[in-house]
């Protein structure tokens, strides 16, 4: 059977462009809710919005909270309930889980637009999370609304997972769902790029707070232990460690025309002091470490702690370390559903089979936890592109990419599309 969609599916796919304004409206409402992590205060409002948007499509929704004792890191960066929304519509068909993380990074200082107000400029859509990954949610809702209106028969029962704390934190929502027995069926994650990519896996990520405790005193006195000054050699030691870490290469295939993937250490944030008249008694450094699948979590975090502890200058000062975020590496996520998803992506974005290449990334995913819970196969798609400023000012996506992703999702879910490569069908190719 060819990849050309027959009958009702063809008409439904053709109508997606005509309905994209509704998807842009949905995206406007999503971006208006601040779900930035840290702190993650907006999860409840966002779950309520998504429940409102999917209920007319016959989805039954339930909210699942991650227990506070699992995600509270101790540094005060995470606040508010961790509310994950699971929306399902079960008819007895095989389940396909469509995963989204609802959090964004905080808006940086260089935005020229209001980051929580969607701004349309021609075919571009600007806003915090437009590409990562609220735009993908709008695209999937466009696909599901079109399938519902056009009565397109589906091969799978979609289960939508709107999850918390992918951008950081100790206990991402998808980790908790996986460890509690979710998801069902296979998983399609939209935490990826708009590229003909066969996902080969990704690095892990560690966020570690290194806190130097001194003792406060009047700035005009000789007394006190200046935590900032005590921390300076610690920072220098971490910069030296950064250079050593960068020499370590991974066997994961890099993106096309890119250098081999290397481990990374980043001094990501620093906070300390209260006023010019007081010797600062505490100084915090946030260290991010991207570690390859070949590296050990215990060895990686032990190396950072040892570098910090041995370099502390003032022995009157005290050093404390706190793990505030961890995503393990993802390895070998390809499985029997990949050929169908590849054809669906080609149908949406126009890529040829020859364009698809396998590559990994130093970016990280909460699906390392899902794999540890027993699910190996993870399909990947999304709206990220190098020029879309993901995690930076002026983040954006385009109307064309939303339609292309919606086309891919509707094709993949449809029973009419490439019925010869539905792995659950007896005798089909996998």
Phi-psi region of 257 (alpha: psi -120 to 50; beta: other; left: phi over 0): left
Please write the tens of the pLDDT for every residue from 62-99.
999 999 999 998 788 899 999 999 999 999 999 999 99
Q: Does 3.30.413.10 match the CATH number of domain 204-327?
A: no
Q: What is the DSSP string of 28-74?
A: HHHHTS--BTTT-TTHHHHHHHHHHHHGGGT-EEEEEEPPHHHH--S
Helix (H, G, I), strand (E, B) or coil at 306: helix
- Exposure on the CB side of residue 365, measured as CA atoms within 13 A: 29
Q: What is the pLDDT of residue 430?
A: 36
Who contacts 202 (Cβ-Cβ below 8 Å, separation ≥6)? 252, 329, 330, 360, 361, 362, 363, 364, 365, 368
pLDDT the model gives residue 427 = 52
Is-contact 149 139, C-beta < 8 A? no
**7-202+330-421 and 204-327, same CATH topology:** no
Q: Which two tokens stand for residue 143?
A: 């696909």
Work out the pLDDT band at 169, boundaries 50, 70, 90: confident
4 pLDDT higher than 80: no
Q: Which of 239, 287, 299, 293 lies closest to 263, judged by CA?
A: 293
- For the chain, the 3-state helix, strand and coil shares in percent, each to the nearest 5, are 35, 25, 40
Rounded Cα distance, 394 and 372, in Å = 35
How much of the chain exceeds pLDDT 70, in percent? 97
Q: What is the pLDDT of residues 114-135, one digit of tens each?
A: 999 999 999 999 999 999 999 9
Q: Tell me: pLDDT of 257 over 60.
A: yes
Who contacts 185 (Cβ-Cβ below 8 Å, separation ≥6)?
94, 95, 96, 97, 156, 157, 159
Residues in the chain: 430
Q: What is the CATH number of domain 7-202+330-421?
A: 3.40.630.10
What is the reported pTM?
0.90
Tokens representing 123 are: 């075919």
**pLDDT confidence of residue 7:** 54
User: What residue ranges do the domains of the chain occupy?
Assistant: 7-202+330-421, 204-327
Report how far Cα 218 is from the mean position of its chain's Cα atoms.
45
> Do 186 and 340 contact (CB within 8 A), yes or no?
no
Among 34, 53, 51, 52, residue whose Cα is nearest residue 43: 34
């Amino acid at each position: 059977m060819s990849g050309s969609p027959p009958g009702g599916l063809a008409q439904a796919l053709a109508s997606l462009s005509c309905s994209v304004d509704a998807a842009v409206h949905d995206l406007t409402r999503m971006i208006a809710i601040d779900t930035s992590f840290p702190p993650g205060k907006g999860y409840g409002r966002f779950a309520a919005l998504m429940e409102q948007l999917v209920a007319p499509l016959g989805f039954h929704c339930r909210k699942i909270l991650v227990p506070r004792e699992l995600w509270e890191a101790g540094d005060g960066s995470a606040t508010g309930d961790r509310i994950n929304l699971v929306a399902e519509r079960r008819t007895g068909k095989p389940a396909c889980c469509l995963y989204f993380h609802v959090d964004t990074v905080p808006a940086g200082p260089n935005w020229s637009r209001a980051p929580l107000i969607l701004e349309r400029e021609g075919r571009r859509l600007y806003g915090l999370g437009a590409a990562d990954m609220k735009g993908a949610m709008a695209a999937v809702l466009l696909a599901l609304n079109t399938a519902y209106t056009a009565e397109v028969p589906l091969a799978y029962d979609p289960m939508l997972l709107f999850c918390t704390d992918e951008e950081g934190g100790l206990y991402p929502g998808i980790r908790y769902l996986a460890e509690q027995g979710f998801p069902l069926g296979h998983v399609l994650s939209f935490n990826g790029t708009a590229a003909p990519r066969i996902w080969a896996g990704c690095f892990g990520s560690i966020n570690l707070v290194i806190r130097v405790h001194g003792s406060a005193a009047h700035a005009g006195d000789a007394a006190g232990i200046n935590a900032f000054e005590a921390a300076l050699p610690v920072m220098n030691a971490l910069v030296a460690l950064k250079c050593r870490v960068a020499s370590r290469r991974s066997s994961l295939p890099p993106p096309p025309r890119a250098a081999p993937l290397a481990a990374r250490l980043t001094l990501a944030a620093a906070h300390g002091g209260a006023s010019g008249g007081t010797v600062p008694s505490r100084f915090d450094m946030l260290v991010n470490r991207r570690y390859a699948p070949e590296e050990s979590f215990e060895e990686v975090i032990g190396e950072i702690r040892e570098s910090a502890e041995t370099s502390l200058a003032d022995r009157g000062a005290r050093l404390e370390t706190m793990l505030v975020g961890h995503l393990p590496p993802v390895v070998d996520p390809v499985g029997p559903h990949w050929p169908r998803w590849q054809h669906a992506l080609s149908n949406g974005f126009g890529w040829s089979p020859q364009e698809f290449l396998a590559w990994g990334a130093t970016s990280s995913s909460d699906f390392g936890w899902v794999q540890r819970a027993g699910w190996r196969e993870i399909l990947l798609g999304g709206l990220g592109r190098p020029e879309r400023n993901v995690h930076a000012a002026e983040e954006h996506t385009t109307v064309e990419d939303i339609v292309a992703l919606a086309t891919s999702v509707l094709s993949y879910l449809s029973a009419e599309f490439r019925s010869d490569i539905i792995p659950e069908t007896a005798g089909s190719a996998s």
